[in-house]
Amino acid sequence: MLSIASAPETDMVAREKELTAYLASRPIDVLLDLVDHDLLTADLARQLDRPKLTALLERRASCQGEDTDLFYAGDGESHFDGELRRQHVIYTWCTGCPVATACLERALRDKDSGGIHGGLTEQEQRDEARAHAQRLAQARTNDARIAAEESAYLRAARRAARTGAFTKATPLSIERARTAVAELSELRAARRARTGWTA
Ligand code: SF4
């Protein structure tokens, strides 16, 4: 069998897509593992539902607890001051933020271009939203469906908990997901090495 590092590029890309789709459907603990391995790509964030995007932001955002007023334009702010403020925020918090892709994706779905999200300025977010209009509309529809299903699920879960029928994620399913995280990490490292990209 070929090792990951020597597999053809097309096979690597296909496998990466497969792993990404699988991991997007996993529980939040697995997604946090991905974040901690620096594997929360834009492609993966786009496949997450809104509650998962929010959960990742709540647990790993670099700007947590910071003065978020700085992320939005102040009253009467001059163009020059706005530019300085944006550069300061992006450089200080967003550039190294491990959940920047989730932050941008949620802001685009919420049509929230009133401040800095995912390291992008308001104008950059509007451009991004235009470029992804169709995909975002589909994602919003999915999110609305999930929100409706969630209330039905919670009602059913409460009933199941009373009768002892509630099933939790098993250690085996978590273990399988963690193996997928490790494989994705190896795959990404191999592709980076192949292109000479070491960042
Ligand atoms: S990308 Fe920037 S605005 Fe978004 S969570 Fe991270 S630090 Fe905050």
| Cα 59 to averaged position of ligand 1 atoms, centre (Å) | 12
Same domain membership, residue 186 and residue 128: no
Same domain membership, residue 65 and residue 135: yes
Same domain membership, residue 129 and residue 65: yes
| Total domains in the fold of the chain | 2
Same domain membership, residue 116 and residue 91: yes
Same domain membership, residue 126 and residue 175: no
* Atom number, ligand 1, closest to the C-alpha of residue 99: 6
Specify the pLDDT at position 168.
57
Same domain membership, residue 163 and residue 78: yes
- Token pair 């699920």 is found at 153
| Cα 87 to averaged position of ligand 1 atoms, centre (Å) | 13
Same domain membership, residue 82 and residue 55: yes
Tell me which residues of the chain have a pLDDT lower than 70: 1-5, 151, 157, 160-172, 197-199
Same domain membership, residue 125 and residue 34: yes
> What is the best residue among 53, 87, 93, 113 to mutate for testing ligand 1's pocket, by most ligand atoms within 8 Å of CB?
93
Ligand 1 pocket, residue 59 CB under 6 Å: no
Same domain membership, residue 67 and residue 134: yes
Specify the pLDDT at position 141.
96
For the chain, what's the residue count? 199
Both tokens of residue 43?
């492609």
Tens of pLDDT along 148-188?
887 677 777 677 666 665 555 566 677 888 888 888 888 88
Question: In terms of Cα–Cα distance, which of 26, 6, 4 is closest to 16?
Answer: 4
Domain that holds residue 13: 1-27+169-199
- Assess contact for 46 and 105: CB atoms under 8 A: yes
Specify the pLDDT at position 192.
82
Strands, E assignment, 47-125: none
Same domain membership, residue 100 and residue 81: yes
Specify the pLDDT at position 199.
47
Ligand 1 pocket, residue 60 CB under 6 Å: no
